[in-house]
Amino acid sequence: MQDGPSNYLFAGYATTPVAITVEGANILTRTLITFAQGALRAHPYLYAEIEAARNPDRRAGIKAFDKAFGGHISFTLRNMVGSFLHAVSGGRLASTPVSGDLGRWYRQLARYSQSFALVGDWTVAFLGGDLKRKQRLSGRMADILSDLYLLSAVLKRYEDDGMIAEDRPVVDAVAYDLIASIEASFKAVFDNFPNAPLRILMGILVFPLGRHARPASDRLTYRLVRAVLRPGTFRDRLTRGVYVSMDPKDVTGVLEDAFLKVTKAEEIEAKFVRAIKKGIIERRLDRDAITDAVDQGVLTEAEAATLRLADQATDRVIRVDDFDPEELSPKQLAREPTAAKDAAE
């Protein structure tokens, strides 16, 4: 039985199909809305060209079209030159609002934003109305746009927090992963672009020296996880704006309560386990061995109390709801609504 008082996540999980039915699955947002829906409106010149072509005043329409088309040509050439130069230089020629080593991520953001503008322009111009039918291609372009947005959000958050050195590894790890994801999405777009000449040209302009981005290493990720699994200001900044309860009587508070108590008891637990491995105390299924550890002088009374509190908190977290079979019988479930109605009356 999954449902029960202890499973506070079940209600949200049970309503997920309702949200998908009403709002639409995430796959719709990715493949149709994020890029294809607004590509025409967001383009700096394409919509103006279409409006000029539809202008009933032919002379005014031609004048407006020539102006928009000239701007479009200039926009395309700038993107071609900019994408190629940024790719060849590894983004070093791009501008950055900050100095120091952090500037490399702003340069990478500028580099791939330029490449996205180029590929997005050609994708919309070549595919036109077919873009909405090329949903996998549109979805990959949406992935690139989303990754660029996330990278800009990470950099802004880091700046807003005062560029705290303790948070820098998070910025680097996220940036490594996002840049690698952006390059992979670009490659998938080029590999599946329906026009071969454009496919080859885009590949040359965006990756003239090949793809070299790598995601964050396991070692870096491990260090971040270790840092998050420690109480402190670093972890508190990551959970800012998130509801966090410290009340052990609260259904969500038991998690934080156990986290703090287990962290406090780590060194004591290690000492206790070493004593068991050395045979100083006997391993048992229950934790009465803690008393033995005190008797043998392995732990002090205070350390034993800390360890017991951590054990109790852990037990509360992993405890599952237990129902008597009679409570789950069809007859009992049928009687419950009637009993509730009688109580209300």
Report pLDDT digits (tens) over 240-259: 888 888 888 888 888 899 99
Which among 183, 202, 233 is the end of a domain?
233
Identify the H or E element spanning 75: helix 58-88
> Average pLDDT over the chain, rounded to whole?
86
- Identify the segments of the chain with pLDDT beneath 50: 1
Q: Is the pTM of this model over 0.85?
A: no
Backbone angles phi, psi at 60, to 5 degrees: -65, -35
In a domain, 11, yes or no: no
pLDDT at 128: 79
Continuous segment of H or E residues that includes residue 237: helix 233-238
Same domain, 207 and 272: no
* Structural domain that includes position 45: 16-233
> Is the same domain home to 218 and 342?
no
How many structural domains compose the chain?
Answer: 2
**Angle formed at CA 15 by CA 14 and CA 19, multiple of 5 degrees:** 145
Q: Which of 69, 43, 237, 51 is nearest to 127 (CA)?
A: 43
Q: What is the pLDDT of residue 87?
A: 92
In a domain, 165, yes or no: yes
Which one of 23, 159, 266, 267 is the catalytic residue?
23
Q: Is 23 a catalytic residue?
A: yes
9 in a structural domain: no
**pLDDT at residue 250, as a whole number:** 84
The pLDDT score that the predictor gives to residue 43 is: 85
**174/33 same-domain check:** yes
Is position 5 within any domain? no
pLDDT digits (tens, 9 = 90+) for 19-73: 666 656 677 788 888 888 778 778 888 888 888 989 999 999 999 999 999 999 9
